[in-house]
Amino acid sequence: MNQHAIAKGLEVWLLQNLLNGSILMGMLASGLLLAQGYFRELNRHLNLRVSRELWNLFTIVLADLLLVGMLLIGYAVLNPDIMADIKMAVPFYPVATLLFAAALVLRLFKGGHEVGTAAFRQALNLTLAANLINMLGFTFVAEAASDEYLAHHASPFWTYLKTHFRSNADPRGLEVAQITFLVCFPVLILLSAWAVQSALAKLKATPSKE
């Protein structure tokens, strides 16, 4: 095995594990949003004002950091070359990335940190929908019944899912991956533009200290 093959294998291994880890990050982010009421109850037991403020900051920022990490990983693997190398459920994972991106914009720039607001509920619903899509893709496509199992228990259902919706399945999976990229990447660009526009608008609306 030459150096190029080893380097390629390590690259695939790293990207695959980052992608799988990002699915768990998305679940944790949704869990933190759902647990805001629980965090508020715990906050009442903190005596010092500083400790309460740090607790609130931690529970809010941690969810945002998880969403940012998920988004960065989702962007890193959303390209035709990588999708052809690793085992990605398409269009499940990329669509979930778009939903997480929209949720992050709502939280950062549209008042989505305030529990009970429309922006918070919309961001929460988007993360829940994204997690559901990721779970379906992970369970029924990426980690579908193995070839060893299918060799002894033929299943048109599992075979169809594996050969049509895995990004590295040749040829159907590769075709679906290309279509997914052509649709999802422009949408991700639009969401990025929305985030930049919202950030600039928020900066202009912030009063100067001078």
Mean pLDDT over all residues of the chain?
90
In a domain, 208, yes or no: no
In a domain, 210, yes or no: no
pLDDT digits (tens, 9 = 90+) for 40-85: 777 776 666 656 677 777 888 999 999 999 999 999 999 999 999 9
Report the pLDDT value the prediction gives residue 50, as an integer from 0 to 100: 56
Report the pLDDT value the prediction gives residue 1, as an integer from 0 to 100: 63
Higher pLDDT, 37 or 194: 194
Neighbours of 209 (CB within 10 A): 4
pLDDT digits (tens, 9 = 90+) for 127-170: 999 999 999 999 999 999 988 999 899 999 999 999 999 999 99
User: With b meaning 16 or more CB within 10 Å and e meaning fewer, what string describes 137-153?
Assistant: bbebbbebeeeeeeeee
**Whole-angstrom distance, CA of residue 205 vs CA of residue 210:** 14
Report the number of distinct structural domains present in the chain: 1
**Whole-angstrom distance, CA of residue 38 vs CA of residue 184:** 35
Report the pLDDT value the prediction gives residue 115, as an integer from 0 to 100: 87
The yes-or-no verdict on residue 207 having pLDDT over 60 is: yes
In a domain, 142, yes or no: yes
Q: What pTM did the predictor assign?
A: 0.91
Q: How far apart are the first and last CA of the chain?
A: 64
The yes-or-no verdict on residue 173 having pLDDT over 90 is: yes
Higher pLDDT, 171 or 210: 171
Q: State which residues form the domain around 65.
A: 3-201
Alpha-carbon torsion 158, 164, 165, 171, what sign? positive
Choice among 56-60, 115-119, 187-191, 205-209 with the minimum mean pLDDT? 205-209
Report the pLDDT value the prediction gives residue 47, as an integer from 0 to 100: 67
Tell me the average pLDDT across 79-99.
Answer: 95
In a domain, 83, yes or no: yes
In a domain, 207, yes or no: no
In a domain, 45, yes or no: yes
